[in-house]
Chains A and B, each alone.
Chain A
Amino acid sequence: MREFVIGIGDGGVSRDADAMLITYALGSCVALMLHDPVARVAGMVHYMLPESSQSPADSEARPYKFADTAIPLLLRAALAQGADKSRLVVIAAGGAQIMNDNSIFNVGKRNCLALRKALWKFGLVAHAEDIGGTVVRTVRMEVGTGRVWLQSPAGKRWELNARKVRSAFPGEEVSWR
């Protein structure tokens, strides 16, 4: 299976049914994933901050860095590749409170709120999410099937199922394909 890495502050869409989208080290950042099971279009973004208004120049150069620019961009890219909004499965992971984040404004929590706000603007909510907490997550998504797996730094792996709104605990160990 071909692997495409989505870097920090980056995003992309694929129609390659044999591909896997991966993003690493989600701390306070959030990964938003979209999948159209009929058109077999998958998209993933790894954004870092909630709002672009604080850094207009940066958001123009790196729109996937901020939730309020990244999410509309990813949605439009998925729709341009043939996805249908009514069929989209929406999955999110990340937004952890990192131990060394001493800021008064908890970036992880603000990223989670920004996620919901941006999705709601499009009339969407996540079908499954594994957000908050203190665990740094790595995420893998199969383009063909839309299946999503998470992994913690300790090596525990679990699948995030749509319709399981909050995955509070790692489930059974599942093998990576």
Chain B
Amino acid sequence: MALNIMIVDDSPVMRTFLRKVVQLTGIPVGDCCEVGDGEAALSVLRQKWVDLVLTDINMPRMNGEELVRQLGLDRMLCDIPVVVVSTDASRDRIDRMIKLGARGYISKPFLPETLRDEIERVLGVQNV
């Protein structure tokens, strides 16, 4: 069954990079949509089914921390797994995001296979 993935990052090149990493997992991908901030992400998530969200933290309009907080408050969206991909590698931030409900956290810079493995762990699948 194909999964729908959402990539939330204000950098177009990083969104392309993340899309390539998703393809590494071998997960059958249905729709892979890309948005530039948390507000746009919420708008899409309220209209279509998404199986996994990859999100940055530092973004304009609504940052990733607020996005994850809003997802947790919405009973229709609170079960969507979220993996954070951020330059912030501080212990404080990681703890905060996990407490807010993020299921995975990868700090930039990262090896593609590190994110691949984290996605597979969160979704409970393995390619090889």
Question: Which residues of A line the B interface, CB within 8 A?
Answer: 86, 89, 120, 123-127, 162-163, 165
B26 contacts chain A at the CB level, 8 A cutoff: yes
Provide the bound-state CA to CA distance between A97 and B19, in Å.
34
Cα separation A54 to B128 with both chains bound (whole Å): 37
Can you list 15 A-B pairs, Cβ within 8 angstroms, ordered by A? A86-B26, A89-B128, A120-B20, A120-B112, A123-B20, A124-B24, A125-B111, A125-B112, A125-B116, A127-B128, A162-B128, A163-B126, A163-B128, A165-B113, A165-B117
- Say yes or no: B113 contacts A126, CB within 8 Å: yes
Contact with A along B51-84 (1 / 0, CB 8 A): 0000000000000000000000000000000000
Classify chain B: how many residues form its interface, as a range: 10 to 19
Bound together, the chains give a CA A66 to CA B111 distance in angstroms of 23
A125:B113 contact, CB within 8 angstroms: yes
B23 at the interface (CB under 8 A from A): yes
Within the assembled complex, what's the spacing in Å between the Cα atoms of A162 and B23?
18
Distance, CA A86 to CA B23, complexed state (A): 9
Greatest chain A CB density within 10 A among B111, B112, B116 is at B112
Q: Is the CB of A125 within 8 A of B128?
A: no
**Contact of B128 with A123 in the complex, beta carbons under 8 Å:** no
Q: Contact check, B24 vs A125: say whether CB atoms are below 8 A apart.
A: yes
Determine whether the beta carbon of A123 is less than 8 Å from that of B116: no
Please determine whether A123 and B23 come into contact, CB atoms closer than 8 angstroms: yes
State A66–B119 Cα separation when bound (angstroms): 33
A127 to B117, CA, bound (A): 10
Q: In whole Å, how far is B24's beta carbon from the nearest beta carbon of chain A?
A: 6
Task: Name the distance in Å between B20's Cβ and chain A's nearest Cβ.
Answer: 6
**In the bound complex, how far is the Cα of B39 from the Cα of A175, in angstroms?**
58
CA distance A126 to B117 in the complex (A): 12
Q: Which residues of B contact A126 (CB under 8 A)?
A: 113
- Output the nearest chain A residue to B126 by Cβ-Cβ distance: A163
What is the distance, in angstroms, from B128's C-beta to the closest C-beta of chain A? 5
Q: Which of A86, A123, A125, A127 has the most CB of B within 10 A?
A: A125
CA distance A162 to B127 in the complex (A): 10
Query: Closest approach, in angstroms, between the C-beta of B28 and any C-beta of chain A?
Result: 10
For A162, the chain B residues whose CB sits under 8 A away are 128
A127 neighbours in B (Cβ, 8 Å) = 128
Minimum-distance CB pairs A-B, first 7: A125-B113, A162-B128, A125-B112, A127-B128, A163-B128, A123-B23, A123-B20
Closest chain-B Cβ to A176's Cβ sits at a distance in Å of: 24
Known interface pairs A125-B113, A126-B113, A162-B128; 7 further A-B residue pairs with C-beta atoms within 8 A, sorted by A's residue number: A120-B20, A123-B20, A123-B23, A125-B24, A125-B112, A125-B116, A163-B128
